[in-house]
Amino acid sequence: MNPVIRSLGEFVRGAGFALVLLVVLLAVNLMLNPARFHPAAWGTLIGLAAPLIGAAVASAPVILAGRGGIDISVGPLMGFVNAIVIQALFLQAGISSPLVLVPAALLIGAVVGAANGFMATVLRIQPIVATLGTYLILAGVTLTILPAPVGPAPAWLKAMAGPYSILPLGAIFLLWWLVRRTPYYDQLMAVGSDDRAAYTAGVPVTKVRFIAYVMTGVLAGIAGLMLTALIGSADPNIGPTYTLIAIAAVSLGGVSLAGGKGGLVGAAIGAIAIFLLQSLLTAFNVSTYVLQVAYGAILVAAVVLTALQDRHALRGVSR
Amino acid sequence: MNALRSWLATTNGRIAAAFLVALLLHLIGTTLIPGYSSPFAIRAILVLAALLAVASVGQTLTVIIGGIDLSIPFVIGFANVVAAQLYGQGWNFVLVCTLVGLLAIVIGGLNGLISRGLNIHPLIVTLGVGMIVQGLVLLWTKGFPSGSAPPAVSAFVSIGGSVGPLPVPWLVPSVAVMTALIVLVLARTPYGRRLYALGSNPGAAPLALIDPLKMWVVTYAASAFFAAVAGVLLLGFTGSAYGDVGQPYLFQTIAAVVVGGAALVGGRGSYLGTIAGVLVLTEINTLLIGLGFKPAAVQAALGLIIVVLVSLYGRERHVSQTI
Amino acid sequence: MAEAASLQARDVSLKPGRAAIAETIRAGEIVGLAGLDGHGQETFLKAMAGLETPASGKIMLGVEGNGRPITSLAKAASTGIAYLPRDRRSTGIFPTQSILDNFAISTVGRDMRFGLISKAERRKRYETYREKLSIVAPHPNAPITALSGGNQQKVLLARALALEPKFLLLNDPTRGVDVATRHVLYDVFRGLAADGMALVILSSEIEEILVLCHRVLVFREHEVAARFSGEGMTTDAVIAGMFGRAA
């Protein structure tokens, strides 16, 4: 079979339900709420969805790396970047140039990611515990330097909220596209699916996992900037709320929590599906409570259906 | 040094170390803060620790089996609100507790059934189920739960309560008895031995005549049941219903289990260790608040201390040593 | 006394379209299963343990013409069949648990006194098998991983024997076991058969089958290609059967 078609097929199978869900939700949204989903408004919509997409995409690399790899500090890291960029750099130090703020956000992300990676791969603390520590530290520090929301954000950053939010998203996927063309990608997937076999085959397992954590950190830094653009201010309470929903989006998008299966595009599709669900339910003017039930129900239904489908596929192969 | 290290590698070593850390923290508190060891302060620490201990039962069990339960805070909130609401509507409180307990068992059983039956990571399943449960409760109460706890429950957990001559509320000795029972169940019943075996090697368990699905359903049902108990106790502690009352327990239960020496890969850990972890966490919290730290700073310090403690004695093996 | 129960494969086909296997395992005999890897002998052994459902046919336990079907491992265990898995590491031991725990796990309900597991009872049971199998181990509360491969295998064998089976199914029991331990195991197997237990041994080593078994089934392409017993059981004959050549 043509390799392109085959990899497309694999992709559809992996992210299948999220993709179907996405199309259905998009159609329903378009029907019920044509004004909000008018092509002219798509820019705004992308801006609204960008932080969640960023958070989901950021959560993916460490999960792909396997053996319980997970980073629950992604949300608080976004909040921390948000607080540092606005409160410390823009309002207190008076720096507004993107040439400083963007590298600063990426650097913070990389440093936190490296710290997580050091704990999870060199000290070998279980990832969920290590990043739980980081979660608490970052959320606590953020609240300390920024007890209450402040604003505003630099004009250029606020301008990134609408259609231009496609730029950072585009940058992320360009980066991932490049990563997929390096041997590192194969090593990451090998480590994720079977680290013992990968180690025996000479893959530097520790290094590969460490880099995954740094990648997650950098991506979370970008997601933090997108969050800042969207809210146009600094708010210590918003970041942490992204953690669990991002992991849900990743899982919805066909990335296996066991590692080695899925990719960033699937994670993004999962995030968009969740975003569309949010818009649909808010369009119906339902309470946030229904939203909450729907979140949970869709999440459980999606993983259950994916599992049933996998089981079916497996049976087809073995017979 | 090496002897110390190898001692710390044993389960008993880890538990003892965690208890020592708790004691050390208490001594530091006593030297630094006047009144830290006053009867009232100790009673408060014991009550807070006992509540966390009840909430952490389920996390301990699910971690030993090789899973995790993120639905605990949601089930705590569910039990808290539903119990208050129904009691407020004039229901008999025993009936209320029975109903809440049964519902919790169903919720937990569902967690176990989906996770094991379909081989989906329990992180996602318990999160999804937890969100559904919380949403349903919010819908039912329209976000404004009402009702209160019966005086008996409030007295049971009240910091000022006493048991005969003992200056602690009934909660504390009850949790001590519960601890003894759980330790006994884990060490000396077929369920307990199978729990460890299944967590230790899921591939070998069915061949050793262990039914994994049954074990997961029972364990997650038990986890939700204890979360519901914690929810009702918290209702007595705070006096009124609050849907998010369980949220702090999401990370605290995981932290307590891990500080107590359990490995999140399964097959290791003990409830006594969790109790040690619970004491460490409660001491840290009390100490930092006593030193005048703001809640945000306390949270940050807690994160730092968890990481330091676990890096001292909770490290995993290198991949080369697992081949 | 009634005729002793036997383990019967009735028209068992391991794959659709393959010739059916009819076989009866009787008390006191040691039957070997040979064949190149993946030619059906493992499926056959697992089917007898209730772990796999054959494409067609039934596994029955009982007297001829009247028996209970074996459809699951639990059913097999309750009717007197024990199975020793092949891969010690992935499907045998519980690495975080003690020697005693590893020994007792399949029969954990048997040591109950007043609703709790009696440690003394469990220890007593373990000691009988420790002597019988000459397990060389430090304190029984030591982790199973402290033992050598051979002794781990003996503990797993003790676990299976603790079920007090009438039929013992062994999946390559001496794989990765040192020579001295092998001979201990051979003696144990012969002793068990002499006491009336039926043993089915899958082995990847022909020599082992020849020294140990009363008869052998040679598998090829999911069928029994040849059967040998007594004088006819030679290395050449078994190898010829494995490769599908006439001896």
Kindly give the residue spans of alpha helices, DSSP state H, lying in chain B: 2-9, 11-32, 39-64, 72-88, 93-117, 122-141, 151-157, 171-188, 190-200, 212-238, 248-259, 271-290, 295-313
How confident is the model over B273-289, as pLDDT tens digits?
999 999 999 999 999 99
pLDDT confidence of residue A222: 96
Q: Is residue B4 part of a domain?
A: no
pLDDT confidence of residue C173: 93
Q: How far apart are CA C234 and CA C247, in angstroms?
A: 10
pLDDT score of C247 more than 60: no
Measure the N-to-C terminal CA separation of chain C; round to a whole number of Å.
42
pLDDT score of A319 more than 70: no
Within 8 A of C91 by CB-CB distance, chain B residues are: 201, 203-204, 207
How confident is the model over A246-275, as pLDDT tens digits?
988 998 888 888 888 888 999 999 999 989
pLDDT confidence of residue B133: 94
Average pLDDT over chain B, rounded to whole?
Answer: 90
Judged by a CB distance cut-off of 8 A, whether residue B213 touches chain A is no
Within 8 A of B114 by CB-CB distance, chain A residues are: 300, 304
Nearest to C73 among B190, B194, B209 (CB): B209
Q: How many angstroms away from the CA of A90 is the closest CA of chain B?
A: 23
pLDDT confidence of residue A3: 55
Percent of chain C's residues with pLDDT above 90:
80
Pick the more confident residue, A296 or B84.
Answer: B84
Pick the more confident residue, A315 or B191.
Answer: B191
Q: Where are the domains of chain A?
A: 49-303
Pick the more confident residue, B40 or B322.
Answer: B40
CATH number of the domain that B297 lies in? 1.10.3470
In chain B, whose CA is at the least distance from the CA of C95? B200
Q: Is residue C87 part of a domain?
A: no
| Inter-residue contact C32 to C215 (CB < 8 Å) | yes
pLDDT confidence of residue B6: 64
Tokens of B129: 């189920």
What residue type is C241 in one-letter code?
Answer: G
pLDDT score of C158 more than 90: yes
Q: How far apart are CA B286 and CA B288, in angstroms?
A: 6
| Inter-residue contact B197 to C94 (CB < 8 Å) | yes
Measure the N-to-C terminal CA separation of chain B; round to a whole number of Å.
27
Confidence of residue A15 (pLDDT cuts 50, 70, 90): low
How confident is the model over C27-65, as pLDDT tens digits?
999 999 999 999 999 999 999 999 999 999 999 998 876
How confident is the model over B38-90, as pLDDT tens digits?
999 999 999 999 999 999 999 999 999 999 999 999 999 999 999 999 999 99
pLDDT score of A13 more than 70: no
Q: Is residue B318 part of a domain?
A: no
Q: Is residue C100 part of a domain?
A: no
Q: Is residue B317 part of a domain?
A: no
- Cβ <8 Å between B193 and C73: no
Identify the architecture of domain A49-303 in CATH: Orthogonal Bundle (1.10)
pLDDT confidence of residue C192: 96
Q: How many angstroms away from the CA of B244 is the closest CA of chain A?
A: 13
Q: Is residue C195 part of a domain?
A: yes
Within 8 A of B214 by CB-CB distance, chain C residues are: none
Confidence of residue B9 (pLDDT cuts 50, 70, 90): low
| Inter-residue contact A187 to A234 (CB < 8 Å) | no
Mutate to test the interface with B, among A80, A129, A255 (most CBs of B within 10 A): A129
Confidence of residue A317 (pLDDT cuts 50, 70, 90): very low
Q: What is the mean pLDDT of residues A57-64?
A: 95
Percent of chain B's residues with pLDDT above 70:
95
Q: What is the mean pLDDT of residues B216-230?
A: 98
Nearest of B66, B22, B35, B88 to residue B275 by alpha carbon: B22
Q: In what order do the strands lie in the sheet with C6-13?
A: C21-25, C6-13, C56-63, C66-69
Q: Is residue C92 part of a domain?
A: no
Judged by a CB distance cut-off of 8 A, whether residue B204 touches chain C is yes
CATH number of the domain that C215 lies in? 3.40.50.300
Domain that holds residue C185: 6-80+165-242
Confidence of residue A316 (pLDDT cuts 50, 70, 90): very low
Within 8 A of A129 by CB-CB distance, chain B residues are: 254-255, 258, 264, 306-307, 310, 314
Domain that holds residue B227: 13-312
Could you give the maximum distance between any two Cα atoms of chain A, in Å? 67
Measure the N-to-C terminal CA separation of chain A; round to a whole number of Å.
21
Percent of chain B's residues with pLDDT above 90:
63
pTM for the model: 0.89
- Cβ <8 Å between C159 and B208: yes
| Inter-residue contact A170 to A226 (CB < 8 Å) | no
pLDDT confidence of residue A1: 46
How confident is the model over C14-35, as pLDDT tens digits?
999 899 999 999 999 999 999 9
Count: domains in chain C? 1
- Cβ <8 Å between B294 and A134: no
How confident is the model over A138-191, as pLDDT tens digits?
999 999 999 999 989 999 998 888 888 899 999 999 999 999 999 999 999 999
pLDDT score of A7 more than 70: no
pLDDT confidence of residue B248: 87
pLDDT score of C2 more than 60: no
Mutate to test the interface with C, among B200, B213, B268 (most CBs of C within 10 A): B200
Q: Is A107 exposed, middle or buried (0-12, 13-18, 19+ CB in 10 A)?
A: middle
Judged by a CB distance cut-off of 8 A, whether residue B10 touches chain C is no
Count: domains in chain B? 1
Does an H or E element contain A54, and which? Answer: helix A42-64
Q: Is residue B3 part of a domain?
A: no
- Cβ <8 Å between B204 and C116: no
Contacts of residue C7, defined as CB under 8 A and 6 or more positions apart, other chains included, come to C24, C25, C48, C59, C60, C61, C70, C81, C167, C198, C200
- Cβ <8 Å between B299 and A130: no
pLDDT confidence of residue A318: 40
Mutate to test the interface with B, among C75, C83, C96, C101 (most CBs of B within 10 A): C96
Query: What is the Cα C207 distance to its own chain's centre?
Result: 18
- Cβ <8 Å between A141 and B317: no
pLDDT score of A4 more than 60: no
pLDDT confidence of residue A251: 86
